[in-house]
Amino acid sequence: MPKFAANLTMMFNEVAFPQRFAAAAAAGFTAVEFLFPYDHTPSEIAGWLKEHKLENVLFNLPPGDWAHGERGIASLPGRGEEFRAGVARALDYALALGTKRVHMMAGLVPVGADAAELALRREIYLENLKYAAEVFGAHDIMVLIEPINGRDMPGYFLVTQAQAHALRIDSGAANVKVQMDFYHVQIVEGDIAMTFRQHVDGIGHVQIASVPSRNEPDDGEVNYPYLFRLLDECGYDGWVGCEYRPRGRTEDGLGWLAAAQLATTQLSGASS
């Protein structure tokens, strides 16, 4: 069965962020991810992880001015100095938390951008990706890039899996991988299983949520039991981040996880 990490930005919102570590551990998770750690000190978060025997598997680089709509700065002209400062800040957190994957958000493209503007953005993005890969690679840390659907995040620079994997290859860095969120893939292009099979060697992290509601992965148009079996079949040994919005109290919606664990147990018993 895949390894599941609770996303503490979206799950366990019944309590404040510091208390979500305890809630995740009590619910049976051994790993967590979150969008941004920067409202708390590295030592605080490291302490919560240690206290509850949790591994932090992912967080994002500083995204620019999130409160005013920025969604990353890696493709934005004139922000190179700020980007490099963000890399240094994220590295401090990653080293303190023992985190082995960080997500580099691309940023938004201006409405009506022409081919020349898009080419410039790609050039800037690739330069920043190579820089981040070198810095984090020195510490055996993976840099992830993620296509995001335009319904949730209109104008995001990275949209398709093919686009992201082309950038991964062009970076020339072994520690650059693609973060494949099945929720975004289904909305943008569908064909999740075949896309995963095609790119599995370049995928460094998976995330899940139902489509279209982005709730627990037990409803909607995506067959998650099938996809969980696919991950095992393809030998995927990374983490699966539960980046969904619970319909109600988080713990009350974890029946899908118990069902996945039961299915794995029954399959193992049948094959022994």
Q: Which two tokens stand for residue 49?
A: 């992880």
Whether residue 193 contacts residue 226, with contact meaning beta carbons closer than 8 Å, is answered with yes
Strand partners, 103: 60, 144
Element (H, E) at 227: helix 224-233
Catalytic residue among 127, 221, 243, 251: 243
Running DSSP on this structure, what letter comes out for residue 61? P
Q: Which two tokens stand for residue 9?
A: 């930005």
243 classed as catalytic = yes
Residue 112, C-beta contacts closer than 8 angstroms, at least 6 positions apart? none
Angle between helical axes of 115-137 and 80-97 (0-180°, round to 10): 30
Strand runs (DSSP E) across the chain, as ranges?
A: 3-7, 31-33, 55-60, 101-103, 142-145, 176-181, 203-208, 239-242
d(CA 245, CA 34) in angstroms, rounded, equals: 13
Catalytic residue among 127, 146, 189, 216: 146
CA distance linking residue 215 with residue 11, whole number of Å: 10
Sign of CA dihedral 65, 67, 72, 77: negative
- Known catalytic membership, residue 146: yes
**Which residues does the annotation mark as catalytic?**
146, 243
